[in-house]
Amino acid sequence: MQDHIGNTSFNVDFYDTTHDNYFSPVKKMLYEDEFNIDLRGEAAYADLFYFREQNQEFLQKQIIPSPNGIRFMVEQLNLTQHIIEDIIQPRLIVVKNKESWAYFGKLYEEKSWVWMGYKFEFVQNMNCGELFRITGLLDSNERIAPEIRETNLKGSFVLFSKHINQYTPVAERPVARQLCSIGLWSYGEKMTRNYAL
């Protein structure tokens, strides 16, 4: 075992059953043996920023105030958005942290924060969060990836959930049944559009 100083990166093994305070709740969202639902092979995990720090105040107190802090965040988010747009292209994104909502553009109407700048259509409230659909990109020169002119995620769902940890009541967590239903809904809509005249 190595000692690490500062922030480190990590990989997620969704099949590893070792308990971890951070990733175990994520893994539980993807697998329900009782209902024979296993989404682990279809899931991807991405942090918005590429440094490991559990204390979110680190971002607010250390990175943002530094001379290149905002620029660092913009470059990190630009890379993340390209990974999501160009490589992962998910039918469903679970944003499991309220602070992260802003980076997707969910708080644009309320606070005028653009960041990645997705436009959303409200779908429904759920016990585990708010479900939206991506309808495009905000028409703003403040988007961190202006080179992305059209989103590959149009029609994809985004479930904005609160932070989930081992203490979050089961009734308030996204579960595999819900995620599977949303994914099938998205897939069904996409297939139906293929038959349009």
List pLDDT tens digits, range 60-78: 777 778 888 888 889 999 9
**Residues facing 93 on adjacent strands:** 158
Q: How far apart are CA 104 and CA 141, in angstroms?
A: 15
Per-residue tokens: 160 = 């904005």
Tally DSSP H helices, then E strands, for the chain. 6, 6
Q: How far apart are CA 178 and CA 99, in angstroms?
A: 23
Tens digit of each residue's pLDDT (9 = 90 or more) over 3-26: 333 333 345 677 777 777 777 788
Q: How far apart are CA 72 and CA 63, in angstroms?
A: 8
pLDDT for 5: 37
Q: Quick one: what percent of the chain has pLDDT higher than 90?
A: 50
Sheet holding 157-160, edge to edge: 92-95, 157-160, 129-137, 118-126
